[in-house]
Chain A
Amino acid sequence: MAKFSKKRGKASPAISTASLPDIIFMLLFFFMVVTVLRDAELKVKVSTPYATELTKLEEKSLVNYLYIGKPLQKYQALYGTSPRLQLGDKFSTVADIPLFLEKHKIKVPEARHGQITSSLRVDGEVTMGIVTDVKTELRKSGQLKVNYSAKKDPDAD
């Protein structure tokens, strides 16, 4: 009996928390790696529609983003309420698309130019008029791989 009580008395030192920072740092690095900092501030309202037949865009460096939607409340006084195209971080017109594509292209190795995808992030309420204009301009610029950005339909299956 005496032996047992002695052991109990010895097992009281506090658990070392020295490894806790390492664990947290691991979490931190995990989040830093998996998340992508949004490169451009959105100036148009984009709420993409739902769909089921989705494919994932794999390599971020091979993707350029075109946003179409109504200007946000604070820009409406200047740009109106009709849907606008946003390239990078500024409002643009369809005529700016070729230059935008070219600017993205020079950052990509030449061998992979064929794999560049344009991601069209379009608000669900936008009418097809401006989308068609953008599509036509993309076709004229030879950018044929397009991804209509959509959210996974929660009601599917």
Chain B
Amino acid sequence: MAKKSTRDRMTNEINAGSMADIAFLLLIFFLVTTTIVEDKGITVKLPPWSEEEPDPTKLKKRNVFSVLVNAQDQLLVRGDPAPVEELRERAKVFISNPYNAEDMAEKPTKAIISLKNDRGTSYDAYLRVYNELKAAYRELWDELSQRKYGIPYSEDMPFAYKKEIRSEIPFVLSEAEPTAFGEE
């Protein structure tokens, strides 16, 4: 009879109170050891490699928006020194050319942005310039999209719309071989 009573006691519920603590420990372990990697960045399509020299196609000077970054991270935009803050606005005016100025792009499809840096340019400065140029295009796409379809430009808008916008204002950024004047 005594045996039976111990059996009865064993059917009692197991105390699950400590389960939470164990799970908490595991949770904290994972929180500490894992890092949320911010996988974001500026996506770029590099031009294919070719051994031969680039074809010196005659480009009209008015269609080229040249940006030079030297080893001291200073900018030369179309021949004049300029701060990086002005770059976006100038690029936008150049591409869209709202007043049909003589020295700016004939039309957005003909605009070419030429970016050249030095081997001594800091990556930070380079990326900032690249970011501004990309932002200029994004803002132009956005304005066009608002005008045409009444929606802001985004990556998940209908493909046909996006294609239409991108064909009207194509993103043309050519990067020249860097100079090697500065100290690396």
Contacts and interface: CB of A to CB of B under 8 A. Distances in A.
A142 interface: yes
Contacts, number: 159
Interface residues of B, number: 50
Interface size on A, as a range, is 35 or more
Nearest to A25: B23
B6 to A, nearest CB: 24
Contact of B30 (A31, A140, A151): A31
A53 B42 contact: yes
Contacts of B31: 31
B19 interface: yes
Nearest to A143: B46
B184 interface: yes
Contact of A21 (B16, B117, B128, B131): B16
Residue with the highest number of chain B CB atoms closer than 10 Å, among A36, A122, A127: A127
A152 interface: yes
Given A54-B41, A119-B39, A125 B47 contact: no
Interface stretch (B57-65, B100-108, B118-126, B158-166): B118-126
A38 B43 contact: no
6 contacts: A17-B17, A49-B127, A51-B128, A51-B131, A127-B71, A128-B117
Interface of B: 16-17, 19-20, 22-24, 26-27, 30-31, 33-49, 71, 117-124, 126-128, 130-131, 134-135, 138, 155, 178, 180, 182, 184
